[in-house]
Amino acid sequence: MSKIPLNRPSLVGNEMNYILDAVQRGQLSGDGYYTQRCNALIEELTQSSKALVTHSCTAALEMAAILCNLEPGDEVILPSFTFVSTANAIVLRGAVPVFVDIDPSTLNIDPACVEDAVTERTRAIFAVHYASFPADMDALAKIAGAHDLILVEDAAQALGSTYKGRPAGSLGDLAAFSFHETKNVISGEGGALTVNKPSLMERAEIIREKGTNRSRFIRGEVDKYTWVDIGSSYLPGELISSFLYAQLEVETDITKRRLSLFDRYYEAFTPLAENGLLRLPVVPPHTTGNGHMFYLLMEDAETRNELSSYMRENGVIAPFHYIPLHSAPAGRKFSRAHGDLAVTDKISDTLIRLPMFVDLGADIEMVIDHVTDFFSQRPASRTFT
């Protein structure tokens, strides 16, 4: 029996040629030819004012937390339904992640819960674009404006997605992207920070270059470089950037192929959804996604677990997603939950992800058949509410 994984990375363009070219250019450390080309192309794709590639989205989120000037005791509002790196970046500054609930239809941070959680210690909002669909950024920007907060997009999954016609990465003061091999555009490990607030741009370069003004030196703006601020080594080497550049060049094609898989799943499961057996993803108003993920919601945890096991028995990897961070051991130690987060818990218990990658091809029909068979073997009385 052939196995269908959740994700499978693949070459999509000139990766091998560009790696060889990078070696022949004679610079393997960061901020060379390909790094600069990646930065420029990410600025174009995201319509952001400045892009800086990093070695991961985790690194970009850490840079964002430093740029927020977080101090011990400061608070940052974010969803509990996210990857650990969104919260770790805050905890590493000694600040407190304040988890709020998500909207049950979009699975993105609920602006009403954010508004309710603001205190005099709140410094920033970290909004996650779950499954690539942008959060309600206008509502969040309004809250951020009213309370003088920095608005950060965790756009790890959202390269190429849009909100009211504007691309993810241009919507907040700062945005973090991931090029991890499980994302759409990949370089194994990789990421980028986009910066839209002019006052943060120079400091972002400094933090990424170990707290030095080396970027200004490279541009010939100063004749030697020195230690001017805190920072770390957040940049990738040229081998990673050369691979990444080849992927970024064909981002439109990658997105198109993934969106057609998304549409096929959506169409195939519509009858099951109409019969109340499952719930399909809801595309939030005024947004477009990039086909990063296809999830289904089941009526309860038991059905979800049974479907996941059934798929595994049939050679298809269809796993759960986030364990809510507020209930994780480190979450209980370092963070605070605002409200009971009942939606987060329910979604975490009932969500299942299906295989999604550029080369899934005709295997998608096998995945669809197994899900359909699972439901046809169950008593018809069970309905999703």
Ligand X SMILES: *Cc1c(COP(=O)(O)O)cnc(C)c1O
- Residues near ligand X (CB under 6 A) are 56-58, 82-83, 85-86, 128, 154, 156-157, 178, 180, 191
For 10, phi then psi, to 5°, come to -145, 160
DSSP annotation of 209: B
Give whichever of 156 and 343 is closer to ligand X, judged by the CB atom. Answer: 156
In this complex, which beta carbon is closest to ligand X, that of residue 82 or of residue 290? 82
Q: Name the token pair of 324.
A: 């809510």
Closest CB to ligand X among residues 56, 350: 56
Residue type, 336: R
User: Residue 31 or 154: which CB sits closer to ligand X?
Assistant: 154
Question: How many other β-carbons are positioned within 10 Å of the β-carbon of residue 109?
Answer: 29
CB of 153 to ligand X, least distance (A): 10
> How far apart are CB 370 and ligand X at their closest, in Å?
26
Taking alpha carbons only, the member of 358, 132, 365, 373 closest to residue 265 is 365
Beta carbons of 353 and 294 less than 8 angstroms apart: yes
Tell me the closest approach of the beta carbon of residue 128 to ligand X, in angstroms.
Answer: 5
Residue 144 CB partners (closer than 8 Å, separation 6+): 125, 150, 151, 173
Minimum CB distance to ligand X smaller for 62 or for 74 = 62
Contact 278, 270 (CB under 8 A): no
Contact 153, 171 (CB under 8 A): yes
Determine the Cα–Cα distance for residues 273 and 128; give it in Å rounded to an integer.
26
CA-CA-CA-CA torsion sign (295, 297, 301, 303): negative
Judged by CB, which is closer to ligand X: 170, or 178? 178
SS3 call for 279: strand
**Rounded to the nearest whole angstrom, what is the least distance from the CB of residue 122 to ligand X in the complex?**
21
- Angle at 179 (CA atoms; ends 167, 131), nearest 5 degrees: 55
Minimum Å gap between C-beta 106 and ligand X is 15
In the bound complex, what is the minimum distance in angstroms from residue 189's beta carbon to ligand X?
A: 6
Nearer to ligand X, 18 or 177 (CB): 177
Least distance from ligand X to the Cβ atom of residue 133, Å: 12
Integer angstrom CA distances of residue 296 from 159, 223, 270: 22, 57, 11
